[in-house]
Amino acid sequence: MSTPPAFHLRTDFPGGVLPEVFGVLTVADPPVLSGENGLPGSILADALRIKGWQHYPAEVVLPGVDEPLVSFSIIEDLGKIERLARDFLRPGIFWVQRGEVIRTFLGKKPPQPLGVWDQFTEGTPVSLHASGNLALVERPATAFLCSTECPASKVLESCEWARRQCDEGGTVISGFHTPVEKDVLAILARRDANIVWVPGRDLPKSIDAVFKTPMDEGRLLILSPFPYGKPSRPSKASCSERNRFVLTRTAERFIPHVATGSSLAGDLDSLPL
């Protein structure tokens, strides 16, 4: 049995979603708390806003200490966070990668793996993982799903609908798995729509070229309800679980065609009335 951690980490991510990679930058490195105090957290917050980095309030909570250490969870690469830590004399960084917490020491000694994020939070285990623009978690979205077998008229209707989403700057959540869903994705990715992609697996370590432009433009969120590595590739069961997740994530839906006896028909029938 592993030893319970002597401290806890807290952060306010939208929707309780855990980003795939981020750093928690704090005032000191537990359990050594007598080191440098660094510049005030308010100045660090101003610097993060100026840089335009996605960041969220965080705390390192220590046993027997009344006031938690002011900290920030920063969604950027580790090199940038380390440079920021040096600038602000904040030696404590917890780097979190695919749910694993690693303490870093700014080059003074090797990184130290600490365990999984859920061990440190004192709360409900994280059930959603994400990569991309986390702000899209809380935007109103429309679920889009369509059966693999689809009449040509419904394909055209879907493409017209996708173009309207681009014109209106809408947000679409889907698995983008069937041929019609992929056609819609290609339209959404080229223009101004926001995309929430829910793969039928854990977060992929690489993405297809179609996602590159929306990712670079901050219009993409990859959202997974599966643990890391389970499953590592889509299956019929995981795709059905994904479809049900998409359908219950938002009240707005556009489903141009449901083939009789299809997996999508079964997914819809399984939802509570």
Enumerate the domain spans of the chain: 8-126, 134-270
Q: Which two tokens stand for residue 124?
A: 């409900």
For residue 103, the SS3 value is strand
Q: Which of 82, 96, 72 is nearest to 21 (CA)?
A: 96
Residues with Cβ within 8 Å of residue 19, at least 6 apart in sequence: 13, 73, 75, 96, 129, 130, 131, 134
Token pair 């049995």: residue = 1
Q: Which two tokens stand for residue 248?
A: 């219950």
Per-position pLDDT tens, the chain of length 273: 455 567 788 888 988 899 999 999 876 544 444 444 556 677 888 889 999 999 999 888 877 766 677 789 999 999 999 988 888 776 678 999 999 999 888 877 888 899 999 888 877 778 899 999 999 999 999 999 999 999 999 999 999 999 999 999 999 999 999 999 999 999 999 999 999 999 999 999 899 999 999 999 999 999 999 998 888 888 999 999 999 999 999 989 999 999 999 999 999 998 875
φ, ψ for residue 255 (rounded to 5)?
-125, 95
The dihedral through the CA atoms of 70, 75, 76, 78 has a sign that is positive
Residue 58 Rama label (left phi>0; alpha psi -120 to 50; beta): beta
- Give dist(CA 11, CA 14) in Å, integer: 10
The dihedral through the CA atoms of 71, 72, 78, 80 has a sign that is negative
pTM listed for this prediction? 0.89
CATH number attached to the domain at 134-270: 3.40.50.450
